[in-house]
Structure 1
Amino acid sequence: MNLSNNLIQDIKHLIAQSRERAVRAVDFQRTVLYWHIGERIFNEEQQGKERADYGNYVIKYLSEQLQPEFGSGFSYRNLHWYRQFYRTFPIVNSLRSQLSWTHYRLLLRLENEDKRDYYIAETVKNNWSVRQMERQINSQLFERLLLSNDKESVLAVARNEKLPVTPQEIIKDPMVLEFLGLRRESTYYEKDLEQAIITNLQDFLLELGNGFSFVARQKRIHLDGDDFFVDLVFYNRLLQCFVIFEIKTHKLSHEDLGQLQMYVNYFDRVEKVEHEKPTIGVLLCADKNNAVVKFSLPENNKTIVASQYELILPTEEQLLTEIKKEIEIYNTKYTE
């Protein structure tokens, strides 16, 4: 009797799913255990709060008693983490089963509550691994989005309380592409950058954010005997539209914007179906002049976005400089 391959594959899939759920359930129970240990340590500290060193004494004593029997998970350092875990997330029912203890360890390093909420929401929604969440934190995704969006809007999108409705809410500027392994000072061609993106497509999709899927590379457009090629084509299910990328390793020019506008027009008139939204065109460039972008496009432009790429992660000092610039622009605009 021959059993179908589908039956075998289905059962293998069920086994794998069951094992994954079991691992997640065990890990979540471990996370809850650490929360309760932190709660118990904190409550014990409050009883001896008149002595400043009482908390450290409690943790040191517990470590000496627990570590020999239960292992390194109950070291002095880890017990400190459990106490901080409880103090940072004081409501046990707010813990998310999709997040492991290692996820929460990363989150404990973030002092800003809104920032933690954002990364929790994004991790749950996108099923980020610890490595993926760490990269987004290190690339300062939250801060970069805040440079072009108000805080409440960013958090509302992350929490699924509202869907993004404009390209600016979902297309990052700048895009940080340090995972491509290209050195900023090196000479390379647009095809090299494109190939590096394809080679690291999973990381690029992660940098793009929610709802993106890859469609095509070097999409051929034939217009009355002339051939043109769109560098990269994606689709975004949240915005329900094509998102096409043109890559330029030089400073943006108005000719680049005109070329991209032609591609957008083609997709809108030929590729797009009735229920889909207008195509978004993204000019991914090494440098740009915002004034050139502004005056090269119609005032009511909603579909063309120029995004500068960075090949190294921004430093905290660079980010603070950009934030100060935004504050100065805001103050100049609204206080005069």
Structure 2
Amino acid sequence: MLQNQSIIPDIKAIIATAQDKAIRAVDNERTLMYWTIGKRIFEEEQQGKDRADYGTYLIKFLAEQLQPEYGSGFSYRQLNWYRQFYRTFPIVSALRTQLNWTQYKLLLSLDNDDKREFYIAESVKNNWTSRQLERQINTSLWERLLMSSDRKDVLAVARNEKLPSDARQIIKDPMVLEFLELKREASYYERDLETAIITHLQDFLLELGNGFAFIARQKRIHIDGDDFFVDLVFYNRLLQCFVIIEIKTEKLTHQDIGQLQMYVNYYDRIEKNDNENPTIGILLCANKNDGVVKFSLPENNKNIIASQYNLYLPTEKQLLEEVKKELENFEEDKNQKF
């Protein structure tokens, strides 16, 4: 019997790496094939006298000829996808080898070039799977980030053209926590929500955004004989600061904001190093009053953020209404200042 058993996991790792590379190579070739088919269909379509009618006829004809031999990947519907793929991404060198065909199909469903570019950049940067990309689109990540930052900043941070200078550029409001599998109608305590977050920590880190690392749960703070416990502590390497999260399952109050401010002050004065940025505090609450948040904090506040959480996927209409409301509030604040 071999003395050194470490050869087994080594060889398994080699096999797994090779299999992963092979799968990626096949995905890339398949994606390129679909793009090339779409290009050829589009070029042929342009030769028709009546382009719309000819295009429909052409794809039906191709499906009849190809599907019996090559299967469902060459149905009328799929061939339409390939044509749309080429029309949306007409430059083959712009295709990302990190993205597979399933991800490209998700991106084709988006109706906005900036939004599509954002999801491409985030997918590549974070190595999202198809399922993760689908969730981020379904939870309207793009729209949620636009609530607290402008379009140019959101795109620049996604492309790595700039580091986030404000926590609001990466922290969402609302946060969507459907993966916790807690029912809206159920009655639960803050500890229940906290436990569910720890159980689904990987999904929660994805929802929090780029650069977050988990530090502690129920972190004990001792101040002049009194003990306090911070719900969750994270660190963000992009912002280079601690991020404290307090969970509130009831409506947010000014006392909650004051408590979080105390925790933030403690971390700034005791825990953080001189080369680190000021601590960020997030109140993750079931219900918030924006007016209470606004008047409980200084006008130039950038370190305390109240983010409402949803335990279900919001509809696009709901999020668009939220974006509209946030823009109206922004305009109102701007007019009051001037």
TM-score bucket of the superposed structures, by smaller chain: over 0.9
Q: Is 1:225 the equivalent of 2:225? A: yes
The equivalent residue for 2:67 is 67
The structural deviation recorded for 1:289 is 1.9
The equivalent residue for 2:47 is 47
Q: Is 1:293 the equivalent of 2:281? A: no
Q: Deviations over 1:110-158 (max 9, x none)?
A: 1111111010111111111111111110111101111111101101100
The structural deviation recorded for 1:50 is 2.3
Cα distance, 1:152–1:64 mapped onto 2, change above 3 Å: same
Aligned runs of 1:150-189 on 2, under 5 Å? Answer: 150-189=150-189
CA–CA distance in structure 2, aligned partners of residues 323 and 246 of structure 1: 25
The equivalent residue for 1:77 is 77
The one-letter amino acid of 2:170's match is: I
Other structure's SS at 1:242 match: strand
CA–CA distance in structure 1, aligned partners of residues 43 and 287 of structure 2: 55
Q: Deviations over 1:232-289 (max 9, x none)?
A: 1111111111111110111111211121112112222222223222211111111222
Q: Deviations over 1:25-70 (max 9, x none)?
A: 1101110110000000000000014253211221122122222222
Aligned runs of 1:1-336 on 2, under 5 Å? Answer: 2-3=3-4, 5=6, 7-50=7-50, 52-329=52-329, 333=334
Q: Equivalent pairs: percent with the same residue?
A: 71
Q: Deviations over 1:140-189 (max 9, x none)?
A: 11011111111011011001111101111111111111222222232111
The one-letter amino acid of 1:120's match is: I
Other structure's SS at 2:245 match: strand
The structural deviation recorded for 1:301 is 2.4
CA–CA distance in structure 1, aligned partners of residues 252 and 48 of structure 2: 64
CA–CA distance in structure 1, aligned partners of residues 160 and 325 of structure 2: 30
Other structure's SS at 1:152 match: helix
CA–CA distance in structure 2, aligned partners of residues 52 and 174 of structure 1: 43
CA–CA distance in structure 2, aligned partners of residues 330 and 286 of structure 1: 23
Q: Deviations over 1:290-328 (max 9, x none)?
A: 222222223332211111111222222222322332444
Q: Deviations over 1:59-92 (max 9, x none)?
A: 1221222222222211111111100100111111
The one-letter amino acid of 1:179's match is: F
CA–CA distance in structure 2, aligned partners of residues 295 and 331 of structure 1: 17
> Would you say the 8 A contact 2:286–2:310 is kept in 1?
yes
CA–CA distance in structure 1, aligned partners of residues 299 and 243 of structure 2: 21
State which drifts further: 270-279 or 147-156: 270-279
Q: Deviations over 1:203-259 (max 9, x none)?
A: 111111111111111111222332211111111111111111110111111211121
CA–CA distance in structure 2, aligned partners of residues 51 and 260 of structure 1: 62
Q: Unmatched 5+ residue regions in structure 2? A: none
The one-letter amino acid of 1:186's match is: A
CA–CA distance in structure 2, aligned partners of residues 321 and 258 of structure 1: 30
The one-letter amino acid of 1:296's match is: S
CA–CA distance in structure 2, aligned partners of residues 35 and 64 of structure 1: 20
> Would you say the 8 A contact 2:45–2:51 is kept in 1?
no
Cα distance, 1:334–1:28 mapped onto 2, change above 3 Å: farther
Cα distance, 1:315–1:212 mapped onto 2, change above 3 Å: same
Other structure's SS at 2:230 match: strand
The number of residue pairs the alignment matches comes to 335
CA–CA distance in structure 2, aligned partners of residues 258 and 266 of structure 1: 12
